[in-house]
């Protein structure tokens, strides 16, 4: 079974809520949230909006979904 893809569309307002909710997946290294390459099959740390890389198995999907639902500008997408 393929794991869902998580990506972040442009428009991050730097609130860091996703990093607090799901720190295993979301990082805030500079001026916008990104998906940690350590939990991506391609190993790239970026918003994943272009690559659309799958995530590795056995992540905390409750936390990931909570982070997506809690984004105040609704730009965290699960596909
Ligand atoms: S919750 Fe949304 S707006 Fe806030 S840092 Fe994460 S992606 Fe950016």
How far does the centroid of ligand 1 lie from the alpha carbon of residue 33, in Å? 6
- Among left, alpha and beta (phi > 0; psi -120 to 50; other), residue 52 is left
Q: How many domains does the chain have?
A: 1
Residues within 6 Å of ligand 1 by CB = 8, 12-18, 33, 71-73, 75-76
Q: Tens digit of pLDDT for each residue in 38-75?
A: 999 999 999 999 999 999 999 999 999 999 999 999 99
Which two three-digit tokens encode residue 52?
């659309």
Whichever domain contains 50, its CATH number is 3.30.70.20
Q: Find tokens 């730097």 and name the residue.
A: 14
pLDDT over threshold 70, residue 22 = yes
Ligand 1: which residue has its CA nearest to atom 1?
71
Which two three-digit tokens encode residue 59?
């992540």
Ligand 1: which residue has its CA nearest to atom 6?
18
- Confidence at 79, pLDDT banded by 50, 70, 90: very high
Q: Find tokens 């995530």 and name the residue.
A: 55
Is residue 1, in this structure, part of any structural domain at all?
A: no
Domain span including residue 11: 6-78
pTM: predicted TM-score of the whole model, two decimal places: 0.95
């Amino acid at each position: 079974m393929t794991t869902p893809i998580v990506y972040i569309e442009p428009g991050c307002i730097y609130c860091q809520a996703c990093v607090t909710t799901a720190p295993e997946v979301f990082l805030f290294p500079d001026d916008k949230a990104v998906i940690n390459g350590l939990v991506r099959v391609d190993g790239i740390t970026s918003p994943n909006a272009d690559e659309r890389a799958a995530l590795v198995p056995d992540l905390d999907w409750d936390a990931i979904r909570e982070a997506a639902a809690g984004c105040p500008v609704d730009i965290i997408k699960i596909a």
